[in-house]
């Protein structure tokens, strides 16, 4: 009886998958499908969920993607196949995975080739699978660069634009989705559509920050500006959270200010300066060397001023004036001058070090929150004072941005009522098999406590890079914008073929099995 049951289950699985494999093999493509080497597509940077796809598509052209999606669309609900676009694999919760579906390896898409258009309003046309670090290197050859970045540049264009793309420049230029002129998108019906603010406007705004729900970004036209050569990189410490936030908020509103403004939290760390100042020269070596954290919670303000060699004197004067109006602990001023590329690609240096120690490909149970300005002190008092007893195994970022730099027509969800809100990011790395404070279970429990506090205290917090498991939770996340989001889904991906790993919509007649490692 048991053998019969096992044989029946095996037979059902073969019948479910085998016709799909055969049918996909009939498609005439420039690229190719891989049905054997698919395990890498069931992993991501989060390293928590593992959903095995049926096939991985390595496209050579946009038509490869369109043909595949259209074919699955035309199969209708008789097929359980879904499609996920995978960039450099830096999703956190399996968002770019497709259980028993097709994962599209966007980095295989080499067309269109990157083209840079200098002039009065410069821009660059790039493939959705292009890495931002490559865009930086190529645009710099023309003395240009994108305006807005993420802290880590080894991410694909399509990946960050499907979320928002936020870093310390966002207060001034907005997120990356605020600096896009045009997109080419493959919808859930397999249609290839060009869209912008002037053409197919609804699709354009739907896709930006749309979590991959409305289309696969195959090309993007990104705004550029003149690139600086040098960065004055500064860090200072605060022990008073009110002063820390007051200075941050003043800096993002000042007319002449820094070009990059971020902050991070350091909780219960001794020997502090040996860690965070390693790439800096203290302004006052004698005083800085004597500074002790004494186990206090400290707040680091990180700043950058961009300039060219002929502007050095003026840049130094501007920095001195700005620093003179801040209230940091005077003995903790650290400054360094680096190239623009070194500054923007700074996280990659940490990646190399962590990889060498085997600490990169570990679970990353990150939690990213957008918090209204009026609630940030309530949040900090409880979270940094009670829930977090020590800094987690990874940085805790905190910095304000201006809502006016975000376009509310896009799909991204931000706190609605206030002009300024904070990004707070808990970028934890878990040590495999650990049962201590650096273990996955402990960090997940800690994240849950933070979210429960935000809800019970009615802080109006929204998740960035959101992760939910039920549609009810997604409805709450989108709030009044849910109806628009769902209506857009019914227009551009009515069968819910795209991005099943987000767990927002479920394809009819398909069964999604979630497995966590």
**Helix (H), strand (E) at residue 310:** none
Q: Which residues pair with 34 in a beta bridge?
A: 56
Considering the candidates 130, 262, 302, 345, report the single residue annotated as catalytic.
262
Residue 307 · residue 228 · CB < 8 Å = yes
Please provide residue 25's backbone torsions phi and psi, each rounded to the nearest 5 degrees. -65, -20
Residue 224 · residue 136 · CB < 8 Å = no
Structure tokens at 303: 């700043």
What is the spatial distance between Cα 430 and Cα 433, in angstroms, rounded to a whole number?
A: 9
What is the spatial distance between Cα 372 and Cα 36, in angstroms, rounded to a whole number?
A: 47
Q: Which residues pair with 117 in a beta bridge?
A: 123
What is the spatial distance between Cα 334 and Cα 506, in angstroms, rounded to a whole number?
A: 51
What is the spatial distance between Cα 25 and Cα 382, in angstroms, rounded to a whole number?
A: 56
**269 CB burial (10 A radius; 0-12, 13-18, 19+):** middle
**Residues in CB range of 115: below 8 A, 6 or more apart:** 124, 125
Tokens 């905190």, located at residue: 398
Cα dist from 414 to 409, 479, 490, 512, whole Å: 12, 11, 23, 29
What is the spatial distance between Cα 499 and Cα 502, in angstroms, rounded to a whole number?
A: 6
Question: Is 151 assigned a catalytic role?
Answer: yes
Strand residue runs (E) in 396-499: 396-402, 420-426, 462-464
Considering the candidates 88, 90, 99, 205, report the single residue annotated as catalytic.
90
Q: Which residues pair with 334 in a beta bridge?
A: 235, 282
Question: Is 90 assigned a catalytic role?
Answer: yes
Considering the candidates 58, 137, 142, 151, report the single residue annotated as catalytic.
151
Q: Which residues pair with 353 in a beta bridge?
A: none
∠ CA 507-513-517, nearest 5°, is 140
List the end-to-end C-alpha distance of the chain, in Å, as a whole number: 31
Neighbours of 180 (CB within 10 A): 26
Neighbours of 52 (CB within 10 A): 17
**212 CB burial (10 A radius; 0-12, 13-18, 19+):** buried
Question: Is 262 assigned a catalytic role?
Answer: yes
Active site residues: 90, 151, 262
């Amino acid at each position: 009886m048991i053998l019969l049951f096992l044989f029946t289950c095996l037979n059902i699985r073969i019948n479910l998958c085998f016709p799909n494999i055969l049918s996909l093999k009939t498609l005439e493509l420039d690229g190719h499908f891989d049905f054997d080497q698919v395990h890498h597509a069931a992993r991501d940077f989060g390293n928590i969920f593992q959903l095995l796809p049926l096939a991985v598509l390595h496209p050579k052209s946009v038509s490869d993607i369109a043909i595949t999606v259209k074919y699955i669309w035309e199969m209708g609900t008789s097929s359980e196949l879904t499609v996920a676009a995978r960039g450099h694999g830096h999703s956190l919760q399996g968002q770019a995975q497709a259980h028993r579906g097709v994962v599209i390896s966007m980095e295989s898409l080499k067309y269109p080739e990157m083209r840079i258009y200098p002039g009065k309003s410069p821009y660059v046309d790039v493939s959705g699978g292009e890495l931002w670090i490559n865009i930086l290197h190529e645009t710099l050859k023309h003395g240009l660069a994108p305006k807005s970045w993420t802290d880590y540049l080894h991410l694909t264009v399509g990946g960050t634009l499907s979320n928002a793309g936020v870093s310390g420049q966002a207060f001034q230029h907005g997120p990356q989705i605020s600096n896009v002129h045009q997109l080419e998108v493959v919808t859930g019906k397999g249609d290839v559509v060009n869209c912008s603010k002037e053409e197919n406007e609804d699709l354009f705004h739907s896709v930006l920050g749309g979590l991959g729900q409305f289309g696969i970004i195959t090309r993007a036209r990104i705004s550029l500006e003149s690139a600086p050569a040098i960065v004055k990189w500064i860090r200072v410490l605060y022990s008073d959270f009110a002063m820390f936030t007051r200075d941050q908020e003043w800096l993002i509103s000042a007319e002449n200010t820094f070009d990059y403004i971020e902050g991070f939290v350091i909780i219960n760390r001794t020997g502090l300066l040996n860690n965070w100042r390693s790439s800096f020269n203290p302004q006052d070596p004698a005083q800085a060397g004597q500074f002790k954290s004494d186990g206090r919670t400290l707040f680091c303000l990180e700043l950058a001023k961009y300039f060219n060699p002929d502007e050095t004197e003026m840049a130094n004067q501007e920095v001195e004036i700005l620093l003179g109006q801040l209230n940091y602990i005077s003995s903790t001023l650290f400054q360094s001058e680096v190239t623009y590329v070194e500054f923007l690609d700074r996280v990659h240096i940490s990646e190399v070090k962590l990889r060498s120690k085997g600490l990169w490909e570990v679970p990353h149970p990150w939690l990213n929150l957008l918090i209204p300005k009026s609630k940030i002190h309530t949040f900090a008092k409880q979270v940094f004072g009670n829930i977090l007893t020590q800094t987690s195994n990874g940085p805790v970022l905190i910095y304000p941005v201006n809502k006016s730099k975000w376009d509310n027509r896009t799909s991204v969800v931000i706190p609605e009522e206030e002009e300024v809100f904070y990004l707070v990011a808990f970028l934890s790395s878990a040590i495999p098999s650990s049962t201590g404070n650096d273990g996955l279970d402990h960090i997940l429990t800690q994240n849950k406590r933070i979210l429960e506090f935000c809800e019970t205290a009615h802080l109006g917090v929204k998740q960035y890079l959101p992760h939910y498991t039920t549609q009810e939770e997604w409805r709450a996340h989108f709030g009044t914008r849910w109806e628009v989001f769902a209506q857009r889904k019914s227009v551009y991906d009515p069968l819910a073929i795209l991005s099943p790993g987000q767990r927002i919509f479920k394809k009819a007649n398909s069964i999604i099995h979630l497995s966590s490692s």
